[in-house]
Amino acid sequence: MSEKIFFSSIYEHMGVPIFVLHVDVDGDFVFGSLNPACEKATGLRKEQVVGKRPREVPDLSKEVAAALRANCERCLEANDVIQCEEPFLGSGQGTWWQTQLAPVRNEAGKIVQIIGSSVDITDLKRAEDGLRESERKYRDLINGMNDTVWVIDFDTTILEVNNAVAKVLGYTREELLSARISDIDDNLTPKQIQDLARSMPRDKIQVFQTWHKTKDGRRLPVEVSSSLVSYGGRTVILSIARDITERKKAEEELKDAHK
């Protein structure tokens, strides 16, 4: 088997979508070929695209054609292999592809072709979009709460807070995220907090009372409900602290009334 037939066989039978673009004398790009996997993935046919510029292919949207041209120009400028993410509309559905564009040179070293190979990353994109949407909903939820919400690492580093924390305690968000919960808790020592965190039961909520220190030095009695949650791929502590100043006052008044 000759080398040409060998590589042609690989091209035709490869399960990865592959396409070839010729670089014309004007520096524009013209489709030279699509392999069967590319035809299947995109819904395009070789005879529809060969000899045409991306913008001249009826089934390619203007946005997709422009993105392909821009990425090919970037490949020429880099004079090397590049990676890019490209949208594509095929079979009536929008998909996303991670594409590698590789320049092919003639004997004089001039780039005369660009070979593209693509992997469908639509599911990954949807998962990323879903994660971003979940994070947005999570932030909207906790920022709509009057109670203070804390995400804390096991070394007591504060990873995230809601808007109520800054409002209730008077610290800026930046100050809180550069602090440890032991800087805020005015009742428990750093070691006690770490011991409490490490002994926290899974799948249960731990409720306790402590005191939080405001920026102006006041001590605020709070009831804290803590549980273990997954955050950024690791297990952390989610704590919701409620101001119980009025409850404490009522308890003191009740005690005084029974003296």
Domain ranges for the chain: 3-126, 142-257
The answer to whether residues 194 and 168 touch, using CB atoms and an 8 Å cutoff, is: no
Which of these CATH numbers, 3.30.450.20, 3.40.1010.10, 3.40.190.10, 3.40.50.300, describes 3-126?
3.30.450.20
DSSP string, 48-60: HHTT--GGG-TTS
The answer to whether residues 190 and 182 touch, using CB atoms and an 8 Å cutoff, is: yes
Within 8 A by CB and 6+ apart from 74, the residues are 82, 84, 101
Q: From CA 9, how far away is CA 52, in angstroms rounded? A: 24
What integer pLDDT is reported at residue 1 of this predicted model? 47
In one-letter notation, the amino acid at residue 20 is V
Tokens of 48: 């529809």
What integer pLDDT is reported at residue 6 of this predicted model? 56
Architecture of the domain delimited by 142-257: 2-Layer Sandwich (3.30)
Q: Which of 255, 258, 239, 259 is nearest to 247 (CA)?
A: 255
What integer pLDDT is reported at residue 3 of this predicted model? 56
33-37, 101-105, 143-147: segment of lowest average pLDDT: 143-147
The Cβ of residue 23 has, within 10 Å, a number of other Cβ atoms equal to: 20
Percentage of the chain exceeding pLDDT 70: 93
Write out pLDDT tens, residues 211-258.
999 999 999 999 999 999 888 778 899 999 999 999 888 878 777 777
In one-letter notation, the amino acid at residue 53 is R
Confidence of residue 117 (pLDDT cuts 50, 70, 90): very high
Q: From CA 20, how far away is CA 33, in angstroms rounded? A: 5
